[in-house]
Structure 1
Amino acid sequence: MRTLLMAAAGVLLLAPAAAQAEAGDLLVRLRGIMVAPNEKTGPVQPTFPTGKTSVDNSFAPELDFTYMFTNNIGAELILGTTKHDINGEAALAPVGRIASTWVLPPTLTLQYHFMPTAHVRPYVGAGVNYTIFYSEKASSALNTAVGRTNVRLSDSFGYALQAGVDIDLTQRVFANFDVKYIDMDTKARLTTGTLVNRERVHIDPFVFGIGLGMRF
Protein backbone atom coordinates (compact mmCIF):
# COMPACT_ATOMS: atom_id res chain seq x y z
CA MET A 1 0.00 0.00 0.00
CA ARG A 2 2.82 2.34 0.90
CA THR A 3 4.48 1.60 -2.44
CA LEU A 4 1.28 2.47 -4.32
CA LEU A 5 0.94 5.76 -2.44
CA MET A 6 4.54 6.68 -3.21
CA ALA A 7 4.04 5.86 -6.90
CA ALA A 8 0.89 7.98 -7.05
CA ALA A 9 2.70 10.87 -5.38
CA GLY A 10 5.51 10.56 -7.93
CA VAL A 11 3.06 10.78 -10.83
CA LEU A 12 1.51 13.92 -9.36
CA LEU A 13 4.93 15.51 -8.94
CA LEU A 14 5.88 14.72 -12.53
CA ALA A 15 2.61 16.04 -14.00
CA PRO A 16 3.01 19.63 -15.25
CA ALA A 17 1.24 22.32 -13.29
CA ALA A 18 -1.69 23.68 -15.23
CA ALA A 19 -0.79 26.50 -17.62
CA GLN A 20 -4.45 27.43 -17.84
CA ALA A 21 -5.45 30.84 -19.10
CA GLU A 22 -7.12 33.20 -16.67
CA ALA A 23 -8.84 36.55 -17.13
CA GLY A 24 -6.23 39.16 -18.06
CA ASP A 25 -3.69 36.65 -19.40
CA LEU A 26 -1.96 37.04 -22.76
CA LEU A 27 -1.27 33.82 -24.69
CA VAL A 28 1.41 34.02 -27.39
CA ARG A 29 1.74 31.15 -29.86
CA LEU A 30 4.23 30.45 -32.64
CA ARG A 31 2.84 27.98 -35.16
CA GLY A 32 3.93 26.37 -38.36
CA ILE A 33 0.95 26.51 -40.71
CA MET A 34 -0.19 24.96 -43.95
CA VAL A 35 -2.62 27.05 -45.98
CA ALA A 36 -4.67 24.69 -48.16
CA PRO A 37 -6.96 26.53 -50.61
CA ASN A 38 -10.37 24.97 -51.24
CA GLU A 39 -10.82 27.03 -54.36
CA LYS A 40 -13.65 27.36 -56.86
CA THR A 41 -12.81 29.43 -59.92
CA GLY A 42 -14.80 30.88 -62.75
CA PRO A 43 -13.96 31.34 -66.44
CA VAL A 44 -11.26 33.79 -67.46
CA GLN A 45 -13.29 36.24 -69.50
CA PRO A 46 -13.36 37.18 -72.29
CA THR A 47 -10.35 35.42 -73.83
CA PHE A 48 -10.48 32.04 -72.07
CA PRO A 49 -14.16 31.18 -71.37
CA THR A 50 -13.22 27.54 -70.71
CA GLY A 51 -10.09 28.40 -68.74
CA LYS A 52 -9.79 28.12 -64.97
CA THR A 53 -7.09 28.41 -62.34
CA SER A 54 -5.98 26.69 -59.13
CA VAL A 55 -4.04 27.96 -56.11
CA ASP A 56 -1.36 25.78 -54.54
CA ASN A 57 -0.75 25.05 -50.84
CA SER A 58 1.77 27.09 -48.87
CA PHE A 59 3.73 26.60 -45.64
CA ALA A 60 4.88 29.40 -43.33
CA PRO A 61 5.42 30.45 -39.71
CA GLU A 62 2.59 32.29 -37.96
CA LEU A 63 2.46 34.36 -34.78
CA ASP A 64 -0.75 34.85 -32.82
CA PHE A 65 -1.85 36.63 -29.67
CA THR A 66 -4.84 35.74 -27.50
CA TYR A 67 -6.10 38.05 -24.76
CA MET A 68 -8.35 36.41 -22.17
CA PHE A 69 -11.29 38.61 -21.14
CA THR A 70 -12.54 35.91 -18.76
CA ASN A 71 -11.33 32.40 -17.90
CA ASN A 72 -13.40 31.07 -20.82
CA ILE A 73 -13.54 33.87 -23.37
CA GLY A 74 -10.62 35.30 -25.33
CA ALA A 75 -9.85 37.14 -28.57
CA GLU A 76 -7.12 35.95 -30.94
CA LEU A 77 -5.28 37.94 -33.62
CA ILE A 78 -3.09 36.01 -36.07
CA LEU A 79 -0.22 37.47 -38.07
CA GLY A 80 1.51 35.74 -40.95
CA THR A 81 2.03 35.87 -44.69
CA THR A 82 2.31 33.18 -47.35
CA LYS A 83 3.26 32.99 -51.02
CA HIS A 84 1.09 31.06 -53.48
CA ASP A 85 1.45 30.01 -57.11
CA ILE A 86 -1.57 30.28 -59.40
CA ASN A 87 -1.75 27.57 -62.05
CA GLY A 88 -3.73 27.21 -65.24
CA GLU A 89 -6.48 24.59 -65.46
CA ALA A 90 -8.76 23.34 -68.25
CA ALA A 91 -8.02 25.46 -71.36
CA LEU A 92 -5.16 27.20 -69.51
CA ALA A 93 -3.49 23.99 -68.33
CA PRO A 94 -0.81 24.06 -71.08
CA VAL A 95 0.49 27.39 -69.70
CA GLY A 96 1.28 25.81 -66.31
CA ARG A 97 2.05 28.41 -63.67
CA ILE A 98 0.25 31.63 -64.54
CA ALA A 99 1.21 33.92 -61.67
CA SER A 100 2.25 34.16 -58.04
CA THR A 101 1.10 36.33 -55.17
CA TRP A 102 1.85 37.04 -51.54
CA VAL A 103 -1.09 36.89 -49.15
CA LEU A 104 -1.42 38.76 -45.83
CA PRO A 105 -4.59 37.58 -44.03
CA PRO A 106 -4.90 39.20 -40.54
CA THR A 107 -7.71 37.34 -38.76
CA LEU A 108 -9.47 38.20 -35.49
CA THR A 109 -11.55 35.55 -33.72
CA LEU A 110 -13.54 35.48 -30.50
CA GLN A 111 -12.83 32.18 -28.73
CA TYR A 112 -14.55 30.05 -26.13
CA HIS A 113 -12.23 27.86 -24.02
CA PHE A 114 -14.17 24.91 -22.62
CA MET A 115 -11.96 23.72 -19.72
CA PRO A 116 -9.67 26.58 -18.66
CA THR A 117 -8.32 24.76 -15.58
CA ALA A 118 -7.53 21.44 -17.32
CA HIS A 119 -4.21 20.30 -18.74
CA VAL A 120 -5.91 19.75 -22.13
CA ARG A 121 -8.02 22.75 -23.14
CA PRO A 122 -10.07 22.66 -26.36
CA TYR A 123 -11.54 25.84 -27.81
CA VAL A 124 -13.62 27.08 -30.70
CA GLY A 125 -13.72 30.50 -32.31
CA ALA A 126 -15.41 32.65 -34.93
CA GLY A 127 -14.52 36.03 -36.33
CA VAL A 128 -13.50 38.11 -39.32
CA ASN A 129 -10.68 38.11 -41.84
CA TYR A 130 -9.29 40.81 -44.12
CA THR A 131 -6.93 39.47 -46.77
CA ILE A 132 -4.45 41.66 -48.62
CA PHE A 133 -2.91 40.36 -51.85
CA TYR A 134 0.41 41.97 -52.73
CA SER A 135 3.46 41.57 -54.99
CA GLU A 136 1.38 39.81 -57.65
CA LYS A 137 3.50 38.77 -60.63
CA ALA A 138 2.73 37.13 -63.95
CA SER A 139 4.83 34.09 -64.78
CA SER A 140 7.27 34.05 -67.68
CA ALA A 141 5.14 31.28 -69.24
CA LEU A 142 2.08 33.54 -69.28
CA ASN A 143 4.03 36.49 -70.64
CA THR A 144 5.38 34.27 -73.41
CA ALA A 145 1.95 32.84 -74.25
CA VAL A 146 -0.12 36.04 -74.39
CA GLY A 147 2.30 38.95 -74.04
CA ARG A 148 3.50 40.99 -71.08
CA THR A 149 0.72 40.86 -68.49
CA ASN A 150 0.01 42.81 -65.33
CA VAL A 151 -1.79 40.80 -62.60
CA ARG A 152 -3.84 42.34 -59.79
CA LEU A 153 -5.98 40.63 -57.14
CA SER A 154 -8.60 42.49 -55.13
CA ASP A 155 -8.51 42.34 -51.33
CA SER A 156 -11.01 40.16 -49.49
CA PHE A 157 -13.21 40.53 -46.39
CA GLY A 158 -14.99 37.50 -44.92
CA TYR A 159 -15.65 35.34 -41.89
CA ALA A 160 -13.39 32.84 -40.14
CA LEU A 161 -14.15 29.69 -38.12
CA GLN A 162 -11.70 28.01 -35.77
CA ALA A 163 -11.16 24.97 -33.54
CA GLY A 164 -8.10 23.98 -31.57
CA VAL A 165 -6.58 22.65 -28.38
CA ASP A 166 -3.83 23.71 -25.96
CA ILE A 167 -1.92 20.95 -24.11
CA ASP A 168 0.29 21.73 -21.12
CA LEU A 169 4.02 21.03 -21.31
CA THR A 170 5.11 23.11 -18.29
CA GLN A 171 3.42 25.61 -16.00
CA ARG A 172 3.66 28.35 -18.65
CA VAL A 173 4.40 26.55 -21.92
CA PHE A 174 1.90 24.53 -23.92
CA ALA A 175 1.59 22.79 -27.28
CA ASN A 176 -1.10 23.96 -29.68
CA PHE A 177 -3.01 22.37 -32.53
CA ASP A 178 -5.34 24.60 -34.54
CA VAL A 179 -7.46 24.57 -37.70
CA LYS A 180 -9.28 27.46 -39.34
CA TYR A 181 -11.62 27.91 -42.30
CA ILE A 182 -11.45 31.34 -43.90
CA ASP A 183 -14.02 32.76 -46.30
CA MET A 184 -11.74 34.37 -48.89
CA ASP A 185 -12.82 35.67 -52.31
CA THR A 186 -10.95 37.77 -54.84
CA LYS A 187 -11.33 39.17 -58.33
CA ALA A 188 -8.32 38.68 -60.60
CA ARG A 189 -7.55 41.25 -63.30
CA LEU A 190 -5.02 40.36 -66.00
CA THR A 191 -4.09 43.28 -68.24
CA THR A 192 -2.26 42.52 -71.47
CA GLY A 193 -1.84 45.72 -73.47
CA THR A 194 -5.36 47.06 -73.94
CA LEU A 195 -7.01 43.68 -73.25
CA VAL A 196 -8.31 43.00 -69.75
CA ASN A 197 -9.26 39.50 -68.63
CA ARG A 198 -11.09 38.93 -65.35
CA GLU A 199 -11.78 35.95 -63.13
CA ARG A 200 -13.65 35.55 -59.86
CA VAL A 201 -11.92 33.16 -57.42
CA HIS A 202 -13.29 31.66 -54.20
CA ILE A 203 -10.12 30.56 -52.36
CA ASP A 204 -11.73 29.60 -48.99
CA PRO A 205 -8.64 27.94 -47.46
CA PHE A 206 -8.28 25.61 -44.52
CA VAL A 207 -5.35 26.68 -42.33
CA PHE A 208 -3.77 23.87 -40.29
CA GLY A 209 -1.37 24.87 -37.52
CA ILE A 210 0.87 23.23 -34.93
CA GLY A 211 3.17 25.02 -32.52
CA LEU A 212 4.08 26.16 -29.03
CA GLY A 213 2.57 28.82 -26.81
CA MET A 214 3.41 30.68 -23.63
CA ARG A 215 1.16 32.31 -21.06
CA PHE A 216 2.07 35.79 -19.78
Structure 2
Amino acid sequence: MTRHHSPTARSAARMGCGLALGALALGLVSPAMAEDYRPQPGQTPIQSSNNESFFGKTLDYIENNSYGRLGPLYFHYYGSSSELHVDNAQGLAAQAFGPGGSDLAHTGSSAGDKLTLGGTIGLYIPMTNHHLAVEVLLAPPLKLDFEVAKDAIDEPLAPTALNGANGETIPTGVPALGRTIGSFKALPPNFTIVYRPWTDTMIQPYIGAGAMYLYTYDTDVNNEVLNELGEPELYLSKPVACVGQLGADFNLPHNMFLNADVKYVGCAEVKARVSGIRINSPTLSPTFGPINVGSVSSTNDFRAVLYSISFGMHF
Protein backbone atom coordinates (compact mmCIF):
# COMPACT_ATOMS: atom_id res chain seq x y z
CA MET A 1 0.00 0.00 0.00
CA THR A 2 1.21 3.50 -0.81
CA ARG A 3 1.79 5.77 2.14
CA HIS A 4 2.57 9.51 2.13
CA HIS A 5 3.01 10.46 5.75
CA SER A 6 5.39 9.95 8.60
CA PRO A 7 4.91 9.98 12.40
CA THR A 8 7.18 13.02 12.57
CA ALA A 9 5.10 14.98 10.06
CA ARG A 10 1.80 14.09 11.76
CA SER A 11 3.18 14.98 15.21
CA ALA A 12 4.44 18.31 13.90
CA ALA A 13 1.03 19.05 12.35
CA ARG A 14 -0.81 18.25 15.57
CA MET A 15 1.66 20.29 17.64
CA GLY A 16 1.21 23.20 15.23
CA CYS A 17 -2.58 23.08 15.61
CA GLY A 18 -2.23 23.03 19.40
CA LEU A 19 0.11 26.01 19.41
CA ALA A 20 -2.18 27.90 17.06
CA LEU A 21 -5.19 27.33 19.31
CA GLY A 22 -3.23 28.38 22.36
CA ALA A 23 -1.99 31.53 20.67
CA LEU A 24 -5.52 32.31 19.49
CA ALA A 25 -6.93 32.05 23.03
CA LEU A 26 -4.17 34.20 24.51
CA GLY A 27 -4.47 36.75 21.74
CA LEU A 28 -8.21 37.13 22.20
CA VAL A 29 -8.02 37.60 25.95
CA SER A 30 -5.86 40.54 26.95
CA PRO A 31 -5.68 41.70 30.60
CA ALA A 32 -8.27 44.38 29.89
CA MET A 33 -10.55 42.04 27.96
CA ALA A 34 -10.40 39.43 30.68
CA GLU A 35 -12.54 41.77 32.81
CA ASP A 36 -15.37 41.34 30.32
CA TYR A 37 -16.94 38.29 31.92
CA ARG A 38 -20.47 37.28 31.04
CA PRO A 39 -21.31 34.00 32.79
CA GLN A 40 -24.11 31.88 31.41
CA PRO A 41 -27.36 31.65 33.41
CA GLY A 42 -26.75 29.79 36.63
CA GLN A 43 -23.01 30.44 36.71
CA THR A 44 -21.31 32.52 39.35
CA PRO A 45 -19.38 35.55 38.11
CA ILE A 46 -15.64 35.37 38.70
CA GLN A 47 -14.37 37.98 41.12
CA SER A 48 -11.03 38.96 39.65
CA SER A 49 -8.60 41.25 41.43
CA ASN A 50 -6.44 43.72 39.55
CA ASN A 51 -3.40 41.86 40.83
CA GLU A 52 -4.39 38.58 39.18
CA SER A 53 -1.91 37.39 36.59
CA PHE A 54 -2.56 37.62 32.86
CA PHE A 55 -2.55 33.83 32.67
CA GLY A 56 -5.06 33.57 35.53
CA LYS A 57 -7.39 36.09 33.95
CA THR A 58 -7.19 34.25 30.66
CA LEU A 59 -8.15 30.96 32.29
CA ASP A 60 -11.00 32.63 34.17
CA TYR A 61 -12.35 34.12 30.98
CA ILE A 62 -12.18 30.84 29.06
CA GLU A 63 -13.84 29.01 31.96
CA ASN A 64 -16.86 31.33 31.89
CA ASN A 65 -17.14 32.14 28.20
CA SER A 66 -16.63 28.90 26.30
CA TYR A 67 -18.85 26.07 25.11
CA GLY A 68 -18.63 22.69 23.46
CA ARG A 69 -20.91 20.37 21.51
CA LEU A 70 -20.72 16.80 20.23
CA GLY A 71 -22.82 14.76 17.81
CA PRO A 72 -23.03 12.96 14.45
CA LEU A 73 -21.39 14.69 11.49
CA TYR A 74 -22.21 13.87 7.86
CA PHE A 75 -19.79 14.79 5.07
CA HIS A 76 -21.45 15.10 1.64
CA TYR A 77 -19.25 15.80 -1.37
CA TYR A 78 -20.81 17.19 -4.56
CA GLY A 79 -17.90 18.87 -6.33
CA SER A 80 -17.15 18.59 -10.03
CA SER A 81 -13.95 17.77 -11.87
CA SER A 82 -12.22 18.09 -15.19
CA GLU A 83 -12.12 15.09 -17.51
CA LEU A 84 -9.49 12.51 -16.70
CA HIS A 85 -6.27 13.46 -18.49
CA VAL A 86 -3.64 10.96 -19.62
CA ASP A 87 -0.47 12.98 -19.14
CA ASN A 88 1.98 11.34 -21.55
CA ALA A 89 0.88 8.14 -23.26
CA GLN A 90 3.63 6.16 -25.01
CA GLY A 91 3.98 2.76 -26.68
CA LEU A 92 0.84 0.65 -26.49
CA ALA A 93 -0.80 3.35 -24.36
CA ALA A 94 -0.39 5.79 -27.25
CA GLN A 95 -2.23 3.30 -29.47
CA ALA A 96 -5.07 3.07 -26.95
CA PHE A 97 -5.32 6.68 -25.71
CA GLY A 98 -3.54 8.65 -28.40
CA PRO A 99 0.07 9.90 -28.25
CA GLY A 100 1.14 12.43 -25.63
CA GLY A 101 -1.44 14.09 -23.39
CA SER A 102 -5.13 13.46 -24.03
CA ASP A 103 -8.47 13.91 -22.26
CA LEU A 104 -10.83 10.99 -21.75
CA ALA A 105 -14.29 12.24 -22.73
CA HIS A 106 -17.22 11.96 -20.31
CA THR A 107 -15.05 11.03 -17.31
CA GLY A 108 -14.06 12.64 -14.03
CA SER A 109 -13.18 12.00 -10.40
CA SER A 110 -14.95 12.45 -7.09
CA ALA A 111 -14.94 11.56 -3.39
CA GLY A 112 -17.32 9.44 -1.32
CA ASP A 113 -19.60 10.59 1.51
CA LYS A 114 -18.97 9.79 5.18
CA LEU A 115 -20.86 9.70 8.50
CA THR A 116 -18.70 10.25 11.58
CA LEU A 117 -18.65 11.92 15.01
CA GLY A 118 -17.82 15.61 15.27
CA GLY A 119 -17.20 18.01 18.11
CA THR A 120 -16.95 21.79 18.30
CA ILE A 121 -15.18 24.00 20.83
CA GLY A 122 -16.27 27.64 20.93
CA LEU A 123 -15.01 30.74 22.73
CA TYR A 124 -16.92 34.02 22.89
CA ILE A 125 -14.77 36.91 21.73
CA PRO A 126 -14.23 39.51 24.49
CA MET A 127 -16.05 42.84 24.39
CA THR A 128 -18.69 41.58 21.92
CA ASN A 129 -21.39 40.77 24.52
CA HIS A 130 -21.43 37.14 23.26
CA HIS A 131 -22.46 38.17 19.76
CA LEU A 132 -19.19 36.95 18.26
CA ALA A 133 -17.42 33.66 18.92
CA VAL A 134 -14.60 31.66 17.37
CA GLU A 135 -15.25 27.96 16.79
CA VAL A 136 -12.99 25.02 15.99
CA LEU A 137 -14.48 21.83 14.50
CA LEU A 138 -12.80 18.63 15.69
CA ALA A 139 -13.37 15.18 14.21
CA PRO A 140 -11.50 11.89 13.91
CA PRO A 141 -9.68 11.35 10.61
CA LEU A 142 -12.16 10.77 7.79
CA LYS A 143 -11.38 7.77 5.57
CA LEU A 144 -12.93 8.68 2.22
CA ASP A 145 -13.13 6.84 -1.08
CA PHE A 146 -11.42 8.33 -4.12
CA GLU A 147 -13.71 7.61 -7.06
CA VAL A 148 -14.00 8.02 -10.81
CA ALA A 149 -17.18 9.44 -12.31
CA LYS A 150 -19.42 9.24 -15.37
CA ASP A 151 -18.34 6.83 -18.15
CA ALA A 152 -15.15 5.86 -16.33
CA ILE A 153 -17.24 3.75 -13.91
CA ASP A 154 -18.88 1.37 -16.39
CA GLU A 155 -16.86 1.64 -19.60
CA PRO A 156 -13.24 0.56 -20.20
CA LEU A 157 -10.84 3.48 -20.48
CA ALA A 158 -9.00 1.73 -23.32
CA PRO A 159 -11.49 -0.56 -25.12
CA THR A 160 -9.44 -0.83 -28.35
CA ALA A 161 -5.88 -0.35 -29.55
CA LEU A 162 -3.75 -0.76 -32.70
CA ASN A 163 -5.20 -1.66 -36.06
CA GLY A 164 -5.79 -5.06 -37.57
CA ALA A 165 -4.57 -6.16 -41.02
CA ASN A 166 -7.63 -4.65 -42.67
CA GLY A 167 -7.66 -1.48 -40.56
CA GLU A 168 -10.05 -2.72 -37.90
CA THR A 169 -9.37 -1.99 -34.24
CA ILE A 170 -8.32 -4.72 -31.85
CA PRO A 171 -10.22 -5.03 -28.52
CA THR A 172 -7.91 -4.79 -25.52
CA GLY A 173 -10.13 -6.78 -23.19
CA VAL A 174 -9.34 -4.28 -20.38
CA PRO A 175 -12.37 -4.20 -18.04
CA ALA A 176 -14.08 -1.13 -16.65
CA LEU A 177 -12.58 0.28 -13.45
CA GLY A 178 -15.76 0.46 -11.39
CA ARG A 179 -16.46 3.42 -9.12
CA THR A 180 -13.77 3.18 -6.42
CA ILE A 181 -10.12 3.76 -7.27
CA GLY A 182 -8.72 3.93 -3.74
CA SER A 183 -9.00 5.74 -0.45
CA PHE A 184 -7.42 8.53 1.54
CA LYS A 185 -7.67 10.00 5.01
CA ALA A 186 -8.61 13.62 5.64
CA LEU A 187 -7.92 15.63 8.78
CA PRO A 188 -9.32 19.06 7.93
CA PRO A 189 -8.77 21.74 10.62
CA ASN A 190 -11.80 24.03 10.50
CA PHE A 191 -11.92 27.53 12.04
CA THR A 192 -14.92 29.86 11.83
CA ILE A 193 -16.00 33.16 13.38
CA VAL A 194 -19.69 33.05 14.32
CA TYR A 195 -22.14 35.93 14.75
CA ARG A 196 -25.29 35.59 16.90
CA PRO A 197 -27.73 38.50 16.50
CA TRP A 198 -29.65 37.48 19.65
CA THR A 199 -27.98 36.15 22.77
CA ASP A 200 -30.77 36.15 25.38
CA THR A 201 -33.39 34.10 23.55
CA MET A 202 -34.25 30.44 23.86
CA ILE A 203 -33.41 29.88 20.18
CA GLN A 204 -30.20 31.55 19.01
CA PRO A 205 -29.55 31.40 15.25
CA TYR A 206 -26.10 32.27 13.95
CA ILE A 207 -24.07 32.72 10.81
CA GLY A 208 -20.36 32.18 10.39
CA ALA A 209 -17.41 32.21 7.99
CA GLY A 210 -13.91 30.84 8.12
CA ALA A 211 -11.39 28.53 6.49
CA MET A 212 -10.51 24.84 6.28
CA TYR A 213 -7.16 23.28 5.42
CA LEU A 214 -7.86 20.29 3.17
CA TYR A 215 -5.13 18.10 4.63
CA THR A 216 -5.09 14.56 3.23
CA TYR A 217 -2.72 11.65 3.84
CA ASP A 218 -2.43 7.85 3.86
CA THR A 219 -3.46 7.48 0.22
CA ASP A 220 -4.03 3.98 -1.13
CA VAL A 221 -4.96 2.66 -4.59
CA ASN A 222 -6.98 -0.55 -4.13
CA ASN A 223 -8.63 -0.98 -7.54
CA GLU A 224 -8.15 -4.53 -8.87
CA VAL A 225 -7.70 -3.47 -12.50
CA LEU A 226 -5.07 -0.84 -11.66
CA ASN A 227 -3.29 -3.05 -9.10
CA GLU A 228 -2.98 -6.17 -11.26
CA LEU A 229 0.59 -5.32 -12.31
CA GLY A 230 1.62 -3.27 -9.28
CA GLU A 231 0.00 -0.55 -7.19
CA PRO A 232 0.07 2.99 -8.63
CA GLU A 233 0.60 6.08 -6.50
CA LEU A 234 -2.25 8.48 -5.60
CA TYR A 235 -1.41 12.15 -5.02
CA LEU A 236 -3.86 14.82 -3.79
CA SER A 237 -2.99 18.50 -3.38
CA LYS A 238 -3.78 20.23 -0.06
CA PRO A 239 -5.31 23.70 -0.60
CA VAL A 240 -7.10 25.98 1.89
CA ALA A 241 -10.86 26.22 1.36
CA CYS A 242 -13.41 28.79 2.51
CA VAL A 243 -16.22 27.86 4.91
CA GLY A 244 -19.72 29.31 5.24
CA GLN A 245 -21.83 28.33 8.25
CA LEU A 246 -25.47 28.48 9.35
CA GLY A 247 -26.95 27.05 12.53
CA ALA A 248 -28.99 27.52 15.66
CA ASP A 249 -28.72 26.71 19.36
CA PHE A 250 -31.82 25.57 21.28
CA ASN A 251 -31.21 26.35 24.95
CA LEU A 252 -32.03 23.80 27.67
CA PRO A 253 -31.85 24.02 31.47
CA HIS A 254 -28.54 23.79 33.34
CA ASN A 255 -26.46 25.51 30.64
CA MET A 256 -27.15 22.74 28.10
CA PHE A 257 -28.38 23.17 24.54
CA LEU A 258 -29.14 21.33 21.31
CA ASN A 259 -27.55 22.45 18.07
CA ALA A 260 -28.19 22.09 14.35
CA ASP A 261 -25.36 23.20 12.06
CA VAL A 262 -24.62 23.26 8.32
CA LYS A 263 -21.25 24.18 6.82
CA TYR A 264 -20.47 24.75 3.17
CA VAL A 265 -16.87 24.14 2.11
CA GLY A 266 -15.66 25.39 -1.25
CA CYS A 267 -13.51 27.94 -3.11
CA ALA A 268 -10.70 25.41 -3.61
CA GLU A 269 -9.24 23.25 -6.35
CA VAL A 270 -7.83 19.83 -5.50
CA LYS A 271 -5.45 18.35 -8.03
CA ALA A 272 -5.48 14.54 -8.15
CA ARG A 273 -2.98 12.33 -9.94
CA VAL A 274 -2.58 8.55 -10.15
CA SER A 275 0.89 7.74 -11.45
CA GLY A 276 2.78 4.56 -12.27
CA ILE A 277 -0.23 2.94 -13.99
CA ARG A 278 0.43 -0.31 -15.86
CA ILE A 279 -2.63 -2.11 -17.26
CA ASN A 280 -2.82 -5.72 -18.37
CA SER A 281 -4.53 -6.28 -21.71
CA PRO A 282 -5.81 -9.88 -22.02
CA THR A 283 -5.59 -9.70 -25.85
CA LEU A 284 -2.41 -7.64 -26.34
CA SER A 285 -0.20 -8.09 -23.28
CA PRO A 286 0.74 -11.75 -23.98
CA THR A 287 2.39 -10.53 -27.20
CA PHE A 288 3.34 -6.89 -26.58
CA GLY A 289 3.54 -6.72 -22.78
CA PRO A 290 1.53 -4.48 -20.42
CA ILE A 291 0.09 -1.11 -21.40
CA ASN A 292 2.25 1.45 -19.59
CA VAL A 293 -0.17 4.34 -19.14
CA GLY A 294 2.08 6.42 -16.87
CA SER A 295 -0.12 8.91 -15.01
CA VAL A 296 -3.73 10.10 -15.17
CA SER A 297 -4.77 13.37 -13.53
CA SER A 298 -7.80 15.57 -12.89
CA THR A 299 -8.61 18.89 -11.23
CA ASN A 300 -11.49 18.89 -8.79
CA ASP A 301 -13.62 21.93 -7.97
CA PHE A 302 -14.01 21.04 -4.28
CA ARG A 303 -17.50 21.55 -2.86
CA ALA A 304 -18.89 19.77 0.20
CA VAL A 305 -21.51 20.24 2.91
CA LEU A 306 -21.07 19.18 6.55
CA TYR A 307 -24.32 18.49 8.44
CA SER A 308 -24.38 18.02 12.20
CA ILE A 309 -26.88 17.68 15.05
CA SER A 310 -25.26 17.82 18.45
CA PHE A 311 -25.69 18.20 22.19
CA GLY A 312 -23.78 21.03 23.84
CA MET A 313 -22.96 22.70 27.12
CA HIS A 314 -21.81 26.15 28.20
CA PHE A 315 -18.85 25.89 30.57
Aligned to 1:109: 192
1:85 to 145, 148, 151: 145
Q: Decide which of 32, 35, 42 is 2:75's aligned counterpart.
A: 35
Is 1:95 aligned with 2:177? yes
The equivalent residue for 2:111 is 55
The residue that corresponds to 1:133 in the other structure is 216
2: CA distance between counterparts of 1:74 and 1:200? 35
Residues 7-26 of structure 1 correspond to what in structure 2 (within 5 A)? 25-26=65-66
Length-normalised TM-score, structure 1: 0.84
Distance 1:142 1:173, change over 3 A: farther
Q: Is the 8 A contact 1:100 1:136 kept in 2?
A: yes
Would you say the 8 A contact 2:265–2:304 is kept in 1? yes
2:299 is equivalent to residue 200 of structure 1: yes
What runs of 5+ residues in structure 2 fail to find an aligned partner? 1-39, 46-60, 87-96, 98-102, 154-175, 278-291
Question: 2:212 is paired with a residue of what secondary structure?
Answer: strand
Greater helix proportion: 2
Within 1, Cα distance between the matches of 2:241 and 2:269?
8
Alpha-carbon deviation of 1:29?
1.0
**Pairing partner for 1:191 from 265, 275, 297:** 275
- Kindly provide the amino acid, as one letter, of the partner of residue 112 in structure 2: D
Report 1 or 2 for greater relative contact order, CA contacts < 8 Å, sequence distance ≥ 6: 1
Give 1:27's aligned amino acid: Y
Distance 1:18 1:32 in 2: 27
Q: Deviations over 1:3-62 (max 9, x none)?
A: xxxxxxxxxxxxxx9689x98511111121111012101122116622312222101111
Query: What is the TM-score of this pair, normalised by structure 2?
Result: 0.58
Give the CA RMSD over aligned residues: 2.4
Q: What is the rounded CA distance, in whole Å, between the counterparts of 2:255 and 2:219 in structure 1?
A: 41
Q: Does the 8 Å CA contact 1:167/1:174 hold for their aligned counterparts?
A: yes
Deviation at 1:146, TM superposition (A): 7.2
How many Å separate the matches in 2 of 1:66 and 1:164? 14
Q: CA deviation at 1:137?
A: 0.7
Amino acid corresponding to residue 120 of structure 2 in structure 1: D
Q: Tell me if structure 2 keeps the 8 A contact 1:185–1:204.
A: no
Q: In 2, distance between residues paired with 1:120 and 1:76?
A: 19
Mark the CA change 1:139 to 1:18 in structure 2 (over 3 Å): closer, same or farther.
same
Residue 173 (1) aligns with residue 232 (2): no
Asked if the contact 2:177–2:223 (Cα under 8 Å) also holds between the matched residues in 1, the reply is: no
Q: SS of the counterpart of 1:205? A: strand
2: CA distance between counterparts of 1:170 and 1:132? Answer: 38
Secondary structure of the residue aligned to 1:116 is coil
- Distance in 1, matches of 2:42 and 2:302, equals 36
SS at match of 1:143: helix
Tell me the residue number matched to 2:308: 209
Q: How many residues get paired?
A: 199
Q: What secondary structure, in the 3-state scheme, does the structure 1 residue paired with 2:235 have?
A: strand
Of Structure 1 and Structure 2, which has the larger fraction of its residues in strand? 1
Distance 2:110 2:297 in 1: 15
Separation (CA, whole Å) in 1 of partners of 2:214 and 2:147: 20
% same residue: 22
